Amino acid sequence: MLDGFPAAQATTFSEYVYEIDANWKLTYDNFQENYHLRFIHPRSGAPAVGEDNPFGYPVKMGFHGPHRTQTIWTNPDPAPKPVQAQSFGRAARFAMADGTAGPHSRDYLALFPNFFILGSPAQPFSHTVWPIDARRSRGVIRLYWKGEDDCASRRYAREYAMASARDIHAEDRDVIEAGQRGLNSGALKHIHFQAQEALCRHLFNAVDERVQAYRADLASTAPRPVSRAEAMA
C-alpha cells in the first residue's frame, strides 16, 4: 500500500512541528477515530462527514500485526467554500498530471508505534507523534510533493494544503489537552472503547503487550533475594 501512496513518489516536503500537553498515546488516538470531526471540525471536516454518515465512521478498518488501517468515508456532496474548492481542485489536477492520484486516496495507515500516513493526492501527509514525557508529546507533520514549484498555481495549491492541515490540527489541540486534564484528575478509572474506537483499542493492546513483555524481562533478570541463611553461610 505504501508504494501506491503519493509520498512514495515525493521529491520534497513541507513540515511543521507542534508540542502539546498530552501523553503521546492520547494525542495519537485523536487521529484514530473520526466522529470528533462533526464537533471539532464542522467546516474543515465536511468532506468526511455528511447526512448519510453524520459521525464520519470509516468505510472499513484493517489490522496487520501491530499496525492498523482505515478507509475514510467520502461525502458525495461536501459543499466546500469557494476558496477551498478552488485550491483543492487545483491540487487534484496537479496530482493527476504528476501521476500521484493513485488508488489509496482515502486510505489512512497507522504504523506502530507512532506514525500515520494519508494517501490523499491533494494533501498527502505523514504525522509522527513523539513522547516527551508522560504528559507531553511532540507532533511532526510533513506534506509531500513531487517536483519543485513550476508555477504560481502549484505554489498556491501547496501553500493552501499546508495551511489547511495546520488549521485542522490547531483545532484538535484543545480537545486533546482537555482529555489529558481529565485523565490527570483521576476521575475516570477505566475507559471503555466502543466499536468505532477499534483502532484505539488495537493500539492499547499493542502497547500493553510490549509493556508486559518488558516488565517480565525485567523480573527475569532481577537479582534473586538472598535468604538469611545464605547470607550467614
Q: Are 47 and 79 in contact (CB under 8 A)?
A: no
Predicted confidence (pLDDT) at residue 188 exceeds the cutoff of 90: no
Mean pLDDT of the chain: 92
Question: Cα separation of 23 and 31, whole Å?
Answer: 14
In the predicted structure, residue 228 carries a pLDDT above the cut 90: no
User: Which of residues 167 and 223 earns the better pLDDT score?
Assistant: 167
Enter the C-alpha cell of residue 113: 508505534
The pLDDT value recorded for residue 226 is 65
In the DSSP assignment, the letter for residue 58 is: -
d(CA 212, CA 123): 38
Is residue 55 very low, low, confident or very high in pLDDT (cuts 50, 70, 90)? very high
Average of per-residue pLDDT across 53-82: 92
- Other Cβ atoms less than 10 A from the Cβ of 47: the count is 20
**Distance, CA of 31 to chain centre:** 4
Whether 194 has a pLDDT exceeding 80, the answer reads yes
Sheet containing 60-64: order of strands: 12-20, 136-145, 125-133, 115-118, 107-111, 67-71, 60-64
Mean pLDDT of 176-192: 91
Q: Please state, in angstroms and as integers, the Cα–Cα distance from residue 173 to each residue in 19, 72, 114, 126, 161, following that order.
A: 9, 21, 17, 18, 19
Distance of CA 180 to the CA centre of its chain: 17
127-165 pLDDT tens trace: 999 999 999 999 999 999 999 999 999 999 999 999 999
pLDDT mean over 100-125: 93
* Model pLDDT, residue 78: 83
- Please give the Cα distance from 233 to 76 (Å, whole number): 81
Question: Which is higher by pLDDT, 81 or 62?
Answer: 62
* 49 close to 37: Cβ distance less than 8 angstroms: yes
Q: Distance of CA 38 to CAs 6, 12, 127, Å? A: 27, 32, 21
pLDDT value of residue 57: 94
Query: Which triple of cell numbers denotes residue 15?
Result: 513540515
Structural contact between residues 157 and 21, judged by C-beta atoms closer than 8 angstroms = no
Taking the CA atoms of residue 145, residue 176, residue 24 and residue 2 in that order, the dihedral angle to the nearest 10 degrees is: -30
Tell me the whole-structure pTM to 2 decimals. 0.89
Where do the domains of the chain lie, and which CATH numbers do they carry? Answer: 2-232 (3.90.380.10)
Q: How many CB atoms are closer than 10 A to CB 24?
A: 23
pLDDT tens digits, one per residue of 5-46: 999 999 999 999 999 999 999 999 999 999 999 999 988 888
Distance from C-alpha of 94 to C-alpha of 37, rounded to nearest angstrom = 27
Task: Check whether 214 has a pLDDT greater than 80.
Answer: yes
* Residue 182 binned pLDDT confidence (cut-offs 50, 70, 90): very high
